[in-house]
Amino acid sequence: MRIMALDVGSKRIGVALSDPLKITAQGLQTFQRTTLEEDIRGLWKLMDEHEVSQLVVGLPKNMDGSVGFKAEEVQQFITDLTAERPMEVIWVDERLTTVSAERTLLEADVSRAKRKKVIDKMAAVIILQSYLDRL
């Protein structure tokens, strides 16, 4: 069983997956959002394919640590996702993960166009690896 991480945005969802031993995180894909039903169906398909037992979800808190509108949207999405098929969800503070992912991609000299395509997936990797490192 593996752990999947999600970096949920309004247009895209970054997806990362742990290795079977739950030591390392690898980027899986950037999932383009369409409708709520399609998003849920697509994510469950990925979770079933990869035998996911836990979800780690980035919670976009405000810089002062409070839960704002964006965090509430993400929480509602995960509530909808797990409504019919309950799954353990671990919330991880995702403040500055996108900044960290951007910095990593800049250091790797990835073009602006390519960065836009992979930034959410890279943020999900950072979210998942931070969780795995704490285990």
The one-letter amino acid code at 132 reads L
Distance between CA 103 and CA 4 in Å, rounded? 23
Q: Is the CB of residue 13 less than 8 Å from the CB of residue 39?
A: yes
3-state class (DSSP) for residue 68: coil
pLDDT score for 110: 59
Parallel, antiparallel, or unpaired: how do β-strands 88-93 and 52-59 relate?
A: parallel
For residue 118, report the phi and psi dihedrals to the nearest 5 degrees.
-115, -5
Taking Cα atoms as reference points, which of 7, 87, 21, 101 lies closest to residue 52? 87
Q: Where are the domains of the chain?
A: 2-134
Q: Is the pLDDT at 25 greater than 60, yes or no?
A: yes
Answer yes or no: CATH 3.10.20.880 is held by domain 2-134: no
Strand ranges for 12-127 from DSSP E: 12-18, 25-32, 52-59, 88-93
pLDDT score for 135: 83
pLDDT score for 75: 95
Taking the model in full, what pTM does it have? 0.85
pLDDT score for 84: 87
| pLDDT, the chain, mean | 86
Distance between CA 95 and CA 58 in Å, rounded? 8
The secondary structure of residue 9, as a DSSP letter, is -
Give Cβ neighbours of residue 68 (< 8 Å, ≥ 6 apart): 60, 61, 62
Residues of the chain above pLDDT 70, percent: 81
Task: List the beta bridge partners of residue 120.
Answer: none
Q: Is the CB of residue 1 less than 8 Å from the CB of residue 120?
A: no
Residues 61-109 have pLDDT tens digits of 767 777 778 889 999 999 999 998 999 999 998 766 665 666 665 566 6
Q: Is the pLDDT at 21 greater than 90, yes or no?
A: yes
